[in-house]
Amino acid sequence: MTTEQAATDAPVTHDTYALGRRDRVFGLIQRHGATAVLVLLLAVGSLSFSRFPTTENLGDIAITSSFPAMVALGMTFVIITGGIDLSVGSVFALGGVLAAYAVRWGTAAGLLVPLAVCGAIGLVQGLLIARVRLAPFIVTLAGLLGARGLLLSISHEGATTYLIPHGSLLARLGQGRLFGLGQPVYLTLALFVIGAVLLQRTGFGQAVYAIGGAEDAAALMGVRVARTKIIVYVLSGTLAGLSGALNAARLSSGVTILGTGMELDVIAAVVIGGTLLTGGAGSVSGTIAGVLLLGVIQNLINQIGDLSSSYQQVVSGAFLAVVVVVQTYLSRARRL
């Protein structure tokens, strides 16, 4: 190992400028690879299928992707700190059921109850991870089961589906359109802008990156590690709950079977978007590209029509594997 590194060290130290350039190119690919592939797929799709580039179809992709995107935004923060949140799928479903249940007390309750409960789930998880120092994987796995259990108890083992009345303000919020696009799309974009500012321009964002890069060093530098981690999990839970509530508003009902396996799709989207699972690097713009990429792949495979949709999962899986391999290679190359 040491001889190998010593051997590769030689040319690297000779040409620091080349290293810097290579470093920048690799960094660029890592950050914007998903966007590039997304643009490519959109171009190929538009040329191959006349029914693909219609405003209706693209609008469908946008609204369908906006719900996992909100969840993925929270997940991006969590993963950059080096953590993981497996509870989001269940919390998403719980948020929807709570919204449909609480809307009887008014629109505000229909939004605030899911936000409060899901935020509280995030808070408990964050406390266990940051203060008790339990592994995020296990804590949020427990959260996945607990949130699903809570959902089942509210909905009588899933037998009762609560409805959000037609024409109610909450339903209009989820179903309304603005310039041909569903309203949740605009909200998602706004949340991503806020997320980007939070991550890139604030001390909190710096702390998130620092913790993911080297937690001990960050603590020595005076970063409030525990507090930052707790906020990140509260953020993830709240966003999952908000997404679930808006999705329920769109469907006019608190569907109980949603969200199973969603956490994996969301993690996949975040990773494809260039965020390192090991933490310390990533961006919210990459995440939005990752979510859209998965949505476009699904749409394109449906366009082919007769192709068995099992292939869709094969393609998504293969794509994820390729992205992770490339990322691992790039980050290793940068660190040499």
Partner 1 sequence: MTVPPYRRPRPALLSTTIIAITAALVAGCAKSEKDQPTGGGGAQAGQVVQSPSGSAPSCTLSKFGGTKFDPKTAVVGFSQSEKEANPFRIAETQSIKAEAKQEGIAGLRVTNGQSQFSKQISDVQQLIAQGAKALVIAPLNSDGWEPVLQQATAKHIPIITVDRKINATACKDYVTFIGSDFYQQGKRAADQMIKALNGKGKVAILLGSSGNNVTTERTNGFKEEIAKQAPGIQITFEQTGDFAREKGQQVTEQMIQSHPDVGAIYAENDEMALGAVTALKGAGKKAGDVKIVSVDGTRNAVTQIVSGWIYAVVESNPRFGPLAFQTLTKFVNGEPIPDKVIISDREYDSSNAEQSVASAY
Binding site for partner 1 (CB under 8 A): 2, 5-6, 9-10, 13, 51, 54, 56-57, 60, 63-64, 67, 82, 84, 137, 155, 157-159, 161, 163, 171, 175, 214, 247, 250-253, 255-258, 260-262, 264-265, 267-268, 271, 277-278, 298-299, 302-303, 305-306, 308-310, 312-314, 316-318, 320-321, 324
The neighbour count for residue 313, using CB atoms within 10 Å, is 11
For residue 10, the minimal CB distance to partner 1 (Å) is: 8
For residue 157, the minimal CB distance to partner 1 (Å) is: 6
For residue 115, the minimal CB distance to partner 1 (Å) is: 20
| Tokens linked to 154 | 């509210």
Shorter beta-carbon distance to partner 1: residue 112 or 315:
315
Give the residue from 154, 128, 131 showing the smallest Cα distance to 141: 128
Shorter beta-carbon distance to partner 1: residue 122 or 136:
136
For residue 124, the minimal CB distance to partner 1 (Å) is: 21
Shorter beta-carbon distance to partner 1: residue 225 or 324:
324
Shorter beta-carbon distance to partner 1: residue 31 or 250:
250
Assign 3-state DSSP to the chain and report helix, strand, coil percentages, each to 5: 80, 0, 20
Q: Which amino acid is at 20?
A: G
CA distance 178 to 148: 33
Q: How is 120-142 classified by DSSP, letter by letter? A: HHHHHHHHHHHTS---HHHHHHH
Residues 6+ apart with CB under 8 A from 289: 32, 34, 35, 38, 272, 273
For residue 320, the minimal CB distance to partner 1 (Å) is: 6
Shorter beta-carbon distance to partner 1: residue 148 or 196:
148
Buried b (16+ CB within 10 A) or exposed e, 70-84: bbbbbbbbbbbbbbb
For residue 310, the minimal CB distance to partner 1 (Å) is: 4
